[in-house]
Homo-oligomer: A and B are copies of this chain.
Amino acid sequence: MTDGERQLIDAARERLGPKAVVTDPSEIEPWATDWRGRVHGATPAILSPASTEEVAEIVRLAAELRVPLVPQGGNTGMAAGATPPADGSALLLSMRRMNRIRSISAENRLGVAEAGVVLATLHNAAHEVGMRFPLTLGARGSCTIGGLTSTNAGGTQVLKFGTMRSLVAGVEAVLPDGSVHSGLSGLKKDNRGYSLDQLLIGAEGTLGVITAVALRLVPAVAARAVAWAAVDSPERALDLLRFLEARTTSVEGFELVPQDSLHLVLKHIPGTRAPLSGEHKWHVLVEATTADVDQDVGAEIERLLGAALQQGIIGDAVLAANEAQAEAFWKLRDTISEAERAEGQTLAHDISVAVADMPRFIVEASTAVERRFPGVVASGFGHLGDGNIHFHVRAAAHAAPDWYEREGKEITRFVDDLVTAAGGSISAEHGIGQLKRDEFARLAPAGRIHALRAIKQALDPLGIMNPGKLAP
Residues of A within 8 A of B (CB): 105, 107-108, 151-152, 154, 158, 163, 165-166, 175, 177, 179-182, 185-196, 198-199, 201-203, 207, 242, 352-356, 383, 386-388, 423-432, 440, 444-448, 450-452, 454-455, 457-459, 470-471
Contacts and interface: CB of A to CB of B under 8 A. Distances in A.
Given A179-B446, A198-B198, A457-B458, A191 B451 contact: no
Given A242-B107, A447-B179, A455-B458, A424 B192 contact: no
A444 B190 CA distance: 13
A177 B356 CA distance: 33
Given A195-B202, A199-B198, A447-B177, A188 B352 contact: yes
A455 B448 contact: no
A158 B185 CA distance: 18
Q: Which of A151, A175, A194, A454 has the most CB of B within 10 A?
A: A194
Contacts of A158: 188-189
Closest 4 CB pairs of A and B: A179-B447, A458-B458, A198-B198, A454-B458
A194 B207 contact: yes
Nearest to A154: B189
A33 to B, nearest CB: 22
Given A189-B388, A354-B108, A431-B191, A448 B154 contact: no
Contact of A425 (B105, B187, B202): B187
Nearest to A162: B188
Contacts of A190: 352, 425, 427-428
Contact of A108 (B195, B355, B427, B431): B355
Identical copies of this chain, number: 2
B427 A181 contact: no
A440 B426 CA distance: 39
B430 A191 contact: yes
A194 B428 contact: no
Main secondary structure of the interface of A (DSSP, over half): loop
27 contacts: A107-B242, A107-B356, A154-B189, A158-B189, A165-B198, A175-B447, A177-B447, A177-B450, A179-B445, A179-B447, A180-B447, A181-B447, A187-B353, A188-B352, A188-B355, A191-B202, A191-B429, A193-B202, A193-B440, A193-B452, A194-B203, A194-B207, A195-B199, A195-B201, A196-B448, A199-B199, A458-B458
B429 A152 contact: no
Contacts of A201: 195, 198
Nearest to A436: B192
Contact of A354 (B186, B447, B451): B186
A459 B454 contact: yes
A291 B174 CA distance: 44
A453 to B, nearest CB: 9
B191 A428 contact: yes
A404 B105 CA distance: 41
B354 A187 contact: yes
A204 to B, nearest CB: 8
Nearest to A174: B447
A194 B427 contact: no
A459 B457 CA distance: 11
A459 B455 contact: yes
A445 B174 CA distance: 13
A119 to B, nearest CB: 17
Nearest to A164: B191
Nearest to A449: B193
B444 A192 contact: yes
A108 to B, nearest CB: 5
Given A108-B355, A189-B425, A428-B190, A451 B388 contact: no
B152 A191 contact: yes
Contact of A426 (B192, B356, B432): B192
Contacts of A198: 165, 195, 198-199, 201
A188 B387 contact: yes
B432 A192 contact: yes
Contacts of A427: 190-192
A432 B191 contact: yes
Contacts of A471: 193-194
